[in-house]
Amino acid sequence: MTFVVWRNKLIQNRAISAGLKTKMSKEQENGTTQRSSLHGHWSSRFAFILAVTGSAVGLGNIWKFPYIAGQNGGGAFVLVYLVCVAVIGLPVMMSEILIGRRGRRNPIATMALLGEEEGSSGQWKWLGALGVVAGILILSYYSVIGGWTLAYIPKSISGAFTGASAADVEAIYAGFTGSWVSVTIAHTIFMAITVIVVARGVERGLERAVRVMVPALLVLMLVLLGYAATSGSFAEGINFMFTPNFDALTWDGVLQAMGQAFFTLSLGMGAIMAYGAYLPEETSITVASGSVVIADTIIAVLAGLVIFPLVFANGLDPAEGPGLVFVTLPLAFGQMGGGVFFGTVFFILLSFAAWTSALGLVEPGVAWVVERFGRSRTQAATMVGGTIWALGLGSVLSFNGLAEFTFLRGTIYQNVEYLTSNVMLPLGGLLIAIFAAWVMCRNSTSEELRGVGTSYKFWRFLTRYVAPAAILLVFLQAVGLID
């Protein structure tokens, strides 16, 4: 899914020097607004929905959502997260797609082009630049956790979890993450695979393989749900997730719920804008965005419904943090029939999910180096990937050698995670909403959203007032500027 985008971008980058400038100036002469992408379009709406879902569904749904929900007391956090997905995530996703489709360029070029075309300024390109930096920083730790999922594949195959107790599984997790050598090796392998694919391209076969990944992941989550429902403390898990206890939620928790809504939907950093550039004119942005948001939310909620019953049944701590999934699920696999098989398949699928999201995270940086410095894709992928790898060592060491080295929000990993999800992505989202609903004129946006019917009015209201106000309010509350 992400591969389609990648391949298209490769073609785009090659074509840029050859034809883009001429094409742009012709468009400007003609004053046309309906551009065609230099590198084709998605074959169907379904292909687009799959592609965006592939980017959205990743570690954020299965690893991050349950652990930050656990750390923020469950129910109230989940409720705020769902509200943020609906009133901020959905309109911002529609905005990113419509901006992408209108510009039909990479995010930086699109922002510069539309900024000028809408009578504002080409300086909107800095919004694209914010996305490039956010992608690099996110991938620096995402790759470390992606490495953990890779490392858990051989662990599952070898039967390391079979019959293991909660204490055994926790010991395996602590032993693995406590060794900076093991985690560095896993991080290096994850990053290397990402760089090689970004540098060399992907065959059609892989693209097809990824097309089955999201449905397969969904089926496996349902199998696990069946297991958790029968052998976990299901009622307690449901209660934890759906009974809002607002005493347990701070304004910082609300900010984290909002950050998670951006993170899980891959919003606020131009990734979805890039996908929108290949969307055919006739496809409904509203329907496509709604489908992705629903699919992504279902997978995250399912992950919570699987994990929390297991947490309570085994006397684990829901606020345990990043290790939550790496402890609860192996425990379940170790006790269920066919656990070696299901465990192995699960971690393979999760690695795939992480990897397809990782390609989307690194691509803006690679595209920028290719265009800005005239490097080949291989050179650009190596340079950007190498930088991300080196930055990632800070996150590797946050779980072992430098675990005691804390400042501001905690370890290096905790700071990078907080800064990107809770500051950079919401800031990017705020600016995207402002651009789509205040800078772009009604004619432009209604053309992309097919007229000015109820859904358009609803989108414009949410994007113009609700989303910016909500983002600002949560920001200001969280930093303590207002009570």
Q: Which of 355, 456 has the CB closer to ligand PFF?
A: 355
The yes or no reply on residue 349 touching ligand PFF (CB under 6 A) is: no
Q: Which of 4, 169 has the CB closer to ligand PFF?
A: 4
At residue 407, the 3 state secondary structure works out as strand
CA dist., res. 288 & res. 45, Å (int) = 7
> How distant, in Å, are the alpha carbons of 176, 209, 255, 398, 400 from that of 180?
8, 32, 31, 9, 6
CB of 58 to ligand PFF, least distance (A): 2
CB of 361 to ligand PFF, least distance (A): 5
HSE (CB half, 13 Å, CA atoms) of 13?
26
Residue nearest ligand PFF, CB atom distance: 60
Q: Which of 138, 307 has the CB closer to ligand PFF?
A: 138
DSSP 87-107: IIIHHHHHHHHHHHHHH-S-H
Q: Which of residues 117-146 bind ligand PFF (CB under 6 A)?
A: 135, 138
Q: Could you tell me the sign of the dihedral formed by the alpha carbons of 278, 284, 288, 289, in that order?
A: positive
Alpha carbon 438 to its chain centroid, in Å, reads 26
CA dist., res. 357 & res. 194, Å (int) = 10
Closest CA to 380 of 390, 391, 392, 370: 370
Answer for which of 16, 51, 59, 369 binds ligand PFF (CB under 6 A) is 59
Q: Which stretch binds ligand PFF (CB under 6 A): 35-43, 249-257, 355-363, 398-406?
A: 355-363
Alpha carbon 102 to its chain centroid, in Å, reads 23
Answer for which of 360, 392, 426, 429 binds ligand PFF (CB under 6 A) is 360
Q: Could you tell me which residues come within 8 angstroms of residue 335 by beta carbon, excluding any fewer than 6 positions away?
A: 163, 231
The yes or no reply on residue 421 touching ligand PFF (CB under 6 A) is: no
Answer for which of 37, 106, 233, 266 binds ligand PFF (CB under 6 A) is 266
The yes or no reply on residue 55 touching ligand PFF (CB under 6 A) is: yes
Instruction: For residue 115, give both structure tokens.
Output: 């900024």
The yes or no reply on residue 422 touching ligand PFF (CB under 6 A) is: no
Answer for which of 130, 166, 269, 388 binds ligand PFF (CB under 6 A) is 269
Residue type, 186: A
The yes or no reply on residue 271 touching ligand PFF (CB under 6 A) is: yes
Q: Which stretch binds ligand PFF (CB under 6 A): 52-60, 214-222, 332-340, 431-439?
A: 52-60
| Residues at the interface with ligand PFF (CB under 6 A) | 55-56, 58-61, 135, 138, 263-264, 266, 269, 271, 357, 360-361
